[in-house]
Amino acid sequence: MKQFSVYIMTNKSKTLYTGVTNDLERRVYEHKQKLVPGFTSRYNITMLVYFEMTTDAKAAISREKQIKGWLRSKKIDLIESVNPDWKDRSE
């Protein structure tokens, strides 16, 4: 069964990036290696600090849009509810 992930990545300055993917390991690797030009490579977004999994693609996209619409403080609360030390979950 296919898995989809909604994830939040950050950098040392705690700039946040929210995304969705069907292959979290590959996508995090792409961010870390700066293989895709754009926001994450420009701001050195390389630390995975939050993710959630689902088997429903539409639900994952909907959840990504929901999180992107939140205030920064609510995103931080979400991250800290499962990762209070902001450790890189990709390691």
Number of Cβ atoms within 10 Å of the Cβ of 27: 22
Q: Is 65 domain-assigned?
A: yes
Q: Is 89 domain-assigned?
A: no
Q: Any idea what the CATH number is for the domain that residue 31 is in?
A: 3.40.1440.10
Query: Residues of the chain with pLDDT > 90: what percent?
Result: 97
Q: Is 38 domain-assigned?
A: yes
Q: pLDDT of 40-76, one tens digit each?
A: 999 999 999 999 999 999 999 999 999 999 999 999 9
E-strand stretches of the chain: 4-10, 17-21, 47-54
For the whole model, what pTM was predicted? 0.96
The number of distinct structural domains making up the chain is 1
